[in-house]
A and B are shown apart, each in its own frame.
Chain A
Amino acid sequence: MVPSSFSSILLALSTLQGPGTRLTYRIRVIEPGVVAPRVVATGSVSGPLDSDMRLTLRTDTAEVEALFQVTPVGDTVTLAGEFFMRRRVGRSRRGLPLWEEDNYRRIVRLTWNDTTRIYPFGVGKAAPRGLWVELLLEREFSGGAGRPAESFELSDSTRDFRMEAVVRPRRARVILNLVRADTVSAPRPMDLVPEEPPRTVQLVLLGRRTTLVVSLTRPEPPLSDRDRSLALDADVVCLRVAAPPADAPQSLGTICGRLNNVARQLALPTGDTLAATFSWPGWR
């Protein structure tokens, strides 16, 4: 009986480290009040186990962007935070604001369901109003659900906070529309995989056929330290659009974006506009 219990525990643990595990970052942004601490914002980001979270906090004098990554090690987890900070340090002699930039990394080890407190502006006297972020890491079995989810609630709309799930997409659903004046073609949805060979697609608008060669690629590696440390290219895909023939296509342009259902446009030489909407693919 004992070996079977032991093996079931092992099985459960291995399941929670496997691809069917879903990771959730729950955060609460808290600032100290006169009577009691006040929750300024709450939110959660979830996704597959390799999901990262990008957090942005801005005040008048400081701006912190951080990318949090989780590495499960047995029953513990290593939380790494890549911070990029801009602080206003004064004004130049000509009255323009002076900012300093700082880039650093923090790593802590904790057990699952531990609460960590992040002081994004530091703990020194210069920290704006002693604000902190409480982060709780959770994992659960998801049965293979791989698309990220984000929810965020801001109690004080004067604050500028943002959180995003950073998940490298393996596939993307792209919906193409051709637009001319106030006429739109029928949507043409496609499931594309990055770095796959180009595909030919035909769109019909007002009886005229437009043939395009499209392919999904990853964006160019970021050049700046900030973009690299915040992995700004990780959750972005680019749609390369070209004119046929497929074996020697002539480039018409590239549309890049996150998988967030926002239509992005590209003007075509024919006078039409190609609108591409990137989203996460449906359940399989």
Chain B
Amino acid sequence: MTVPGGAETAHEQWRVQIDAELDGELSLVERAALAKHLATCARCAGARASQLEVRVALARSAGNPHAFVVPRPSIRAGTLALWITVALVTGLLAGWAADRRWGGPGGGSTLEESRGTIVVQ
């Protein structure tokens, strides 16, 4: 992640990202960029560890020792419904196309159409 401005400003930006990550608000791409940065920046990694310790302490004092410190990214119901609809429509279209192309047992025409016919000219 490229942050314009000086080094201090950049670190501030990364801390904002760390807060957002611990709140579970980062996308997968943003989390990957943050992890890459934390691997090379001891200062930000330390800041993240401090944030984690604070959150764990708060959770324990609230009587929830097994609380998730980093909440799981939430899946929105709308997104889930959209993906299910897309999968169903794709399956239906693929089935229709395969039936048009290869057909099922019995062929595509009626029995009488597939039978021989004698026509007097």
Contacts and interface: CB of A to CB of B under 8 A. Distances in A.
Interface of A: 64, 66, 79, 81, 83, 85, 87, 89-90, 98, 100, 102, 104, 106, 108-110, 114-127
B107 A83 contact: no
A106 B116 contact: yes
Given A79-B118, A118-B118, A125 B105 contact: no
Contact of A100 (B105, B117, B118): B105
Which of A119, A121, A123 has the most chain B CB atoms inside 10 A of its CB?
A123
A110 B102 contact: no
5 contacts: A106-B117, A114-B120, A117-B118, A117-B119, A118-B119
A81 B20 CA distance: 82
Nearest to A110: B120
Given A116-B120, A123-B117, 6 more contacts: A66-B116, A85-B115, A89-B103, A89-B105, A124-B114, A127-B113
A89 B102 CA distance: 9
Given A89-B106, A90-B102, A127 B114 contact: yes
B111 interface: yes
Contact of B106 (A81, A85, A100, A109): A100
Classify the interface of chain B: helix, strand, loop or mixed: loop
B108 A126 contact: yes
Nearest to B103: A90
Contacts of A126: 107-109, 113-114
B108 A104 contact: no
Contacts of B4: none
B117 A122 contact: yes
Given A83-B116, A100-B105, A114 B110 contact: no
A102 B111 contact: yes
B116 A124 contact: no
Interface in B20-75: none
B121 A116 contact: yes
B78 interface: no
Contacts of B103: 89-90
A108 B116 CA distance: 13
Nearest to B110: A124
